[in-house]
Structure 1
Amino acid sequence: MQKLLIIGLVWPEPTSSAAGWRMMQLIALFLEQNFEVHFASAAGKSAFSADLKTLGIQEHEINLNDSSFDEFVKNLNPLLVLFDRFMIEEQFGWRVRENCPNALTFLDTEDLHFLRKARELAYKKNKEIDLYTVEAKREIAAILRCDISLIISKEEFTLLTEQFHIPAGLLHYLPFLEDEVTEEEIQHWKSFEERKDFIFIGNFLHEPNWQTVLTLKKGIWPTIQKQLPDAELHIYGAYASQKVYDLQNKKEKFIVKDRAINARMAMQNYRVLLAPITFGAGVKGKFIDAMKSGTPSVTTTIGAESMSQNLNWNGTIQDDFSLFIQDAINLYADENFWQTAQNNGIEIIKKNYSSTIFKPDFFERIQYLLDNIQAHRKQHFISEIMNFHFAQSSKYMSLWIEEKNKKI
């Protein structure tokens, strides 16, 4: 049986974040193809970590800057190694390549971290965005070192190939993978009349979600609440700190609800998702959940980035907050407008996120790379150069840290 080793930044938490949900989708893909899946992480588990063992996945605890990993990966001898974000490739990539030189290496970017950080800095300092940062150098270097990198957003694929001139042969577009919405599912959705109130949902370890809630609290909700006095706004999110709970005001009908164990089931109770996202990157899992639960949304250009592509949005997209507010009110009150938006979401899932479209191409690409790995590496020889020089510096830094730790 072919072996896949996934090295995780954290143990996946599918109920906490879109990143955890994305990882579980990737795991399911390889299990469907009868891979023997191993998941290793240096992070501790939480109460919300997925129970991977029940899926037949072998779990391994590993340490940073520790040569015990060398023996572990050499004995495991995986055919494929998937790095969960570029920081993990920086830590373990050189060890994998030194001990398993023929293993196919994947980087799952989740979203482009350097893009998100650059947008955050530009937003907070009210200045032009600068993408040419230290974070960009680190993340793009990791992309160049891997045989293939998974990109979740077409916008980010274009950014990498056109602005940073990354060869398309080192990238693979793989969005969230969803089953199409069936008529039976639609029949079980709550109707316009059966739903009420507005919702926002997001992991509060993710800074864009916190800033979005602040925007709702200060700039969006007060006006909506005046015009729709019977409506409430409910805020859901994993890892909410006290500052989030402090925003609750029942008189203003601004309610903080903690995490949703099942986001899609929770969303089906609400009429509209509000997400005035001001910075971020990647594809937002909250909108997939909304479309899969028949809940229209009002968001910004960055919020909807890369999702609808040439299709009509599951609601409206507005960067002007006065128009955002008016659209939210109209979508909440107008059943025909709302129904059209819901239908748009069904179409977006079908055309842009259907697993039947993207699964076959993904595994064809994997098989091609496995069959032609040496030719692929010669074609992208810059990756070999990057690996050679990075290994020299990282290896000795890591060994130095390991020796230092032994003396503590």
Structure 2
Amino acid sequence: MGIKRKIKNYIYLKRHYPLSVKNITPDPNKKTVLIVDSQIPTFDKDSASNRITEIAKFLAKHYNVYLMDWRKAIPKLESKKYIQNLNDHNVMVYTPFIGEYGIMKGKKHFINNLLPKLDFVWCHRPELFEHYLDFFRKKAPQAKIVYDMVDIHYLRMERGLEIKYDKNRAKELVYYKHIETELCKQADKIAVISDKEKEFMTAFVDPSKLFTVSNVHNLKVKPEDMPPFEKREGIFFIGTFLHDPNVDAVEILYHHIMPLVWKVLPKLKITIIGPEAPEAIEKMNSERFEIAGFVEDIIPYYKKCFASVSPLRFGAGVKGKIGQALEYTLPVLTTEIGAEGMFLENRVTALISGNEDYQKFADNIIEICSNESTWNTLHNNSEKAIYPFSIEAQKEEIFELLK
């Protein structure tokens, strides 16, 4: 690192740090887990971040838990609320500091201090596992390495390429497939996000290494505490546009599904929520098809809308947008791909259509916005739908993973 960069970093730390003032003292009687991610998890921006945040908070009740962003030597001010949220639940997050004699202590200092204490290294996402596998094998041979797949990336890409071929995405697929079917064999344990993916992965690795650790969702409200059917209006879609299936889903809503809905319900408004929308999506914005971008507080949408809609044609893993809607007892409309691994039952806990049955998806939207009986059935069955994703339902599997 050059002298100018060091000075710039020093000034940044003096001006903005510490990002959290809580001091957490490790318990010498507990085992130590280091979670390595590609970012400080942004629980309110993407499903994978929300999942690892909830897992870290749960683990911190039973282990000494540290979390490190592998990319940034200096987490920025924007990460402050996420670091504080984790610290509030006794998760120790890497941030540099200015030590004795004005010397900055960074990531190297953080890792070197942890290496002899580590019992588990939890590599969240395939890139992290590939990057750190050899390092922790050599530097912390006593530590068990957990590869958290998040979802099976190459499978999601493979499904997407069947619908829309992209040369660059095809190259990425080869990279991820190597990690997810070959390199993964070198992990001590592998966390998969659903039993369906666990079954899929048995073709590549010893089944005894596989553990299902899904999204973590808990019922946030009681059905009777939420506004009733007659006080609802509109529907919404939510998801980050850095995720190809979400871009495709919004295009399908705009070009195929909503025109069919508007023939019957011409005034129905749909709101598209999520960061990083490409220009083509931004241009869809209108009074009936609102492109809202990132929304800090989405709870009002759970309170005022008829349903969350997710017409996914491809993807893999468990869909956080569906679990989050169920947390607030909001009916969910999705496809067979969207429902994969979610334990959903058509017309009992969700309305489910074929992946490319646009007329059926449109009919489901019309029904959920006009049939109070259907709406109440899904609304009142949310707790049944969400239970498999609660910590209570998953904790034994997590403890087994970290034996």
Q: Give me the TM-score of the superposition, normalised by structure 2.
A: 0.81
Higher mean alpha-carbon deviation, 89-98 vs 241-250, is at: 241-250
Aligned residue among 197, 202, 205 for 1:156: 197
Structure 2: where are the runs of 5+ without partners?
Answer: 1-26, 97-105
1:234 aligned partner, one-letter code: T
1:79 aligns with 2:119: yes
Query: What's the offset of the Cα at 1:72?
Result: 5.0
Query: What's the offset of the Cα at 1:205?
Result: 0.9
Match of 2:11 in 1: none
Higher mean alpha-carbon deviation, 173-182 vs 25-34, is at: 173-182
Name the SS for the 1:317 alignment partner: strand
Query: What's the offset of the Cα at 1:165?
Result: 3.9
2:212 aligned partner, one-letter code: Y
1:173 aligned partner, one-letter code: T
CA distance 1:311–1:362, change in 2 (3 Å): farther
Cα pair 2:218 2:327 within 8 Å, conserved: no
Deviations 1:301-343 (A, max 9, x none): 1011110266865331112111111121112100001111223
CA distance 1:57–1:257, change in 2 (3 Å): same
Measured in 1, the distance between the counterparts of 2:160 and 2:94 equals 35
Query: What's the offset of the Cα at 1:299?
Result: 1.2
Match of 2:180 in 1: 139
CA distance 1:272–1:23, change in 2 (3 Å): same
Cα pair 1:5 1:82 within 8 Å, conserved: yes
Query: What's the offset of the Cα at 1:268?
Result: 2.2
Aligned residue among 340, 360, 379 for 2:396: 360
1:107 aligns with 2:136: no
Higher mean alpha-carbon deviation, 222-231 vs 135-144, is at: 135-144
Q: Give me the TM-score of the superposition, normalised by structure 1.
A: 0.80
Structure 1: where are the runs of 5+ without partners?
Answer: 63-67, 368-408
Cα pair 1:181 1:292 within 8 Å, conserved: yes
Name the SS for the 2:159 alignment partner: helix
Measured in 1, the distance between the counterparts of 2:139 and 2:348 equals 48
Name the SS for the 1:23 alignment partner: helix
Match of 1:234 in 2: 271
Percent of aligned positions with the same letter in both sequences?
24
1:28 aligned partner, one-letter code: K
Measured in 2, the distance between the counterparts of 1:166 and 1:34 equals 27
Match of 1:33 in 2: 62
2:397 aligned partner, one-letter code: D
Aligned residue among 342, 351, 356 for 1:316: 351
Measured in 2, the distance between the counterparts of 1:363 and 1:201 equals 32
Name the SS for the 2:68 alignment partner: strand
Measured in 2, the distance between the counterparts of 1:340 and 1:221 equals 24
CA distance 1:48–1:99, change in 2 (3 Å): closer
Query: What's the offset of the Cα at 1:243?
Result: 3.0
Aligned residue among 27, 36, 61 for 1:7: 36
Cα pair 1:260 1:266 within 8 Å, conserved: no
Name the SS for the 2:78 alignment partner: coil
Match of 1:186 in 2: 223
Cα pair 1:3 1:36 within 8 Å, conserved: yes
Cα pair 1:268 1:294 within 8 Å, conserved: no
Aligned residue among 253, 266, 274 for 2:301: 266
Deviations 1:35-78 (A, max 9, x none): 2424242235473661244444333369xxxxx97775343121
Match of 1:218 in 2: 255
Name the SS for the 1:157 alignment partner: helix
Measured in 1, the distance between the counterparts of 2:261 and 2:40 equals 39
Cα pair 2:193 2:215 within 8 Å, conserved: yes
Cα pair 1:30 1:37 within 8 Å, conserved: no
Measured in 2, the distance between the counterparts of 1:311 and 1:353 equals 18
Cα RMSD of the aligned pairs, angstroms, is 2.6
Query: What's the offset of the Cα at 1:27?
Result: 0.8
Deviations 1:139-183 (A, max 9, x none): 22332111111111222111111xx2421111101112233466x
CA distance 1:142–1:263, change in 2 (3 Å): farther
Query: What's the offset of the Cα at 1:6?
Result: 1.3
Pairs aligned (count): 353
Cα pair 1:313 1:345 within 8 Å, conserved: no
CA distance 1:40–1:327, change in 2 (3 Å): closer
CA distance 1:172–1:199, change in 2 (3 Å): same
Match of 2:211 in 1: 172
Measured in 2, the distance between the counterparts of 1:236 and 1:268 equals 15
Match of 1:195 in 2: 232
Cα pair 1:297 1:315 within 8 Å, conserved: yes
